[in-house]
Amino acid sequence: MPRKLLLPYKSVSSHFRAPRGLHDSVAMNAARSGYRVFSANSTAACTELAKRITERLGAELGKSVVYQESNGETRVVIEESVRGQDIFIIQTIPRDVNTAVMELLIMAYALKTSCARNIIGVIPYFPYSKQSKMRKRGSIVCKLLASMLAKAGLTHIITMDLHQKEIQGFFSFPVDNLRASPFLLQYIQEEIPDYRNAIIVAKSPDAAKRAQSYAERLRLGLAVIHGEAQCPEQDMDDGRHSPPMVKNATVHPGLELPLMMAKEKPPITVVGDVGGRIAIIVDDIIDDVESFVAAAEILKERGAYKIFVMATHGLLSADAPRLIEESPIDEVVVTNTVPHEVQKLQCPKIKTVDISLILSEAIRRIHNGESMAYLFRNITVDD
């Protein structure tokens, strides 16, 4: 009697309900031999997102070993054949950013020398994205990292909410900059009961475009915080203007350039009425939270009765959990692009939104050669 051939299949239960129109029921049979998914992290806490993505794909993580030698060097060993396959490397960035970068570079190069067909980096939070502009005698480190990734063998990158969209121009290969806003908007609609009485707040004019996008999609009002808190020690010589200006600088005879006036921020003010409203501060990154705490305090003074902070990447460095716990902020909502389980234990106000669905769908579409347009529906330049 001939044996019956059974196709491998794995049923995956959803961790959360997807945004409207994007469903887990999309066929994602990852048992096919054309691609593999690896995690480049040596830290167990950082592999959680990779596990969620592979569960949604119905696949298993590729077999590899990533560890640190006793002398601090990073070693990567690929323990299965990857010849001729599409390889996706998932790398979440923990607090030790430089080690994570080296793990990614070394794994990409190991896969390249193992004859992988394509090597796609899935980097939800792209490190050094704040260093994407030239400042005096500094350097554009983000461009340097882009060049290093290309040299190591990456052929494509999937990331989420780059700090500056222009960073995509640093790469010599395709970059898909996904958005977390559909998941955060869904959270507002489903988890904030009286969100119709809310107002979207930009904690600085630089964040006004993002806040405006949220406000327009939710049909809510917009407020912008401008200026900075005045401090009596602000004018003290603390080295911020060093090296000191040269009084007798050599000037070419007859050359008189117009003097550029120095910038001076006004006292902190709120443009917009937040009295008796729920204030929702939106941004892309929450790292040092002092500016968010200061914004929450001024909003509380102006009459906001609840304050939420929402962002894609929750780095939550230094004393962020303690400062949030002691602040007027009622809830901080971030996605799981960056591991922050320790911070959640320290501060119950921190909530997490899972974005593994959109990353797994991006992986499936790229491998199958399908259009990515569905993942960018209704996304504008300012989003």
In this predicted model, what pLDDT tens digit does every residue of 92-121 receive, in sequence order? 998 899 999 999 999 999 999 999 999 999
Say yes or no: 204 and 310 in one domain.
Answer: yes
In this predicted structure, the answer to whether residue 137 has a pLDDT above a threshold of 70 is yes
Say yes or no: 149 and 272 in one domain.
Answer: no
* Summary mean pLDDT of the chain: 86
- Kindly indicate the confidence band of residue 84, based on its pLDDT and cuts at 50, 70 and 90: very high
Say yes or no: 279 and 163 in one domain.
Answer: no
Cβ-based neighbours of 9, under 8 Å, separated by 6 or more = 29, 31, 58
The mean-pLDDT minimum among 29-33, 255-259, 317-321 falls in 29-33
Say yes or no: 174 and 319 in one domain.
Answer: no
Say yes or no: 127 and 53 in one domain.
Answer: yes
Q: Can you give the pLDDT at residue 247?
A: 52
Q: Where are the alpha helices (DSSP H) in 219-271?
A: none
- Kindly indicate the confidence band of residue 1, based on its pLDDT and cuts at 50, 70 and 90: very low
Say yes or no: 108 and 82 in one domain.
Answer: yes
Start-to-end C-alpha separation, the chain = 60
Q: Can you give the pLDDT at residue 339?
A: 93
- Kindly indicate the confidence band of residue 355, based on its pLDDT and cuts at 50, 70 and 90: very high
Say yes or no: 201 and 342 in one domain.
Answer: yes
Residue 321 · residue 314 · CB < 8 Å: no
Residue 255 lies in a domain: no
User: Of 156, 178, 200, which residue is a domain's last?
Assistant: 178
How many CB atoms are closer than 10 A to CB 150? 16
Bigger pLDDT: 136 or 177?
Answer: 177
Q: Report the pLDDT averaged over residues 2-13.
A: 38
Cβ-based neighbours of 225, under 8 Å, separated by 6 or more = 201, 202, 203, 204, 268, 269, 270, 271, 295, 298, 299
Cβ-based neighbours of 83, under 8 Å, separated by 6 or more = 114, 115, 116
Say yes or no: 334 and 190 in one domain.
Answer: yes
- pTM, full prediction: 0.83
Residue 209 lies in a domain: yes
Q: Can you give the pLDDT at residue 19?
A: 55
Rounded Cα–Cα distance for residues 47 and 379 (Å): 29
In this predicted structure, the answer to whether residue 256 has a pLDDT above a threshold of 60 is yes
| CA Rg value for the chain | 24
Q: Report the pLDDT averaged over residues 121-140.
A: 92
Say yes or no: 187 and 174 in one domain.
Answer: no
Can you read off the two tokens belonging to residue 133?
């502009």
Positive or negative: CA dihedral 89, 124, 75, 59 = negative
Say yes or no: 68 and 118 in one domain.
Answer: yes
Residue 3 lies in a domain: no
Looking at residue 195, its amino acid is Y
Domain count for the chain: 2
Q: Which domain holds residue 173?
A: 36-178
Residue 383 lies in a domain: no
Concatenate the DSSP letters of all residues of 122-143 into one string. EESS-TTTT--S--TT---HHH
Rounded Cα–Cα distance for residues 141 and 133 (Å): 8
- Residue-wise pLDDT tens digits, 39-83: 998 787 789 999 999 999 999 999 999 999 999 999 999 999 999
Domain at 202, CATH number: 3.40.50.2020
- Only one residue has tokens 């993580």, namely 61
Cβ-based neighbours of 206, under 8 Å, separated by 6 or more = none
Looking at residue 279, its amino acid is A
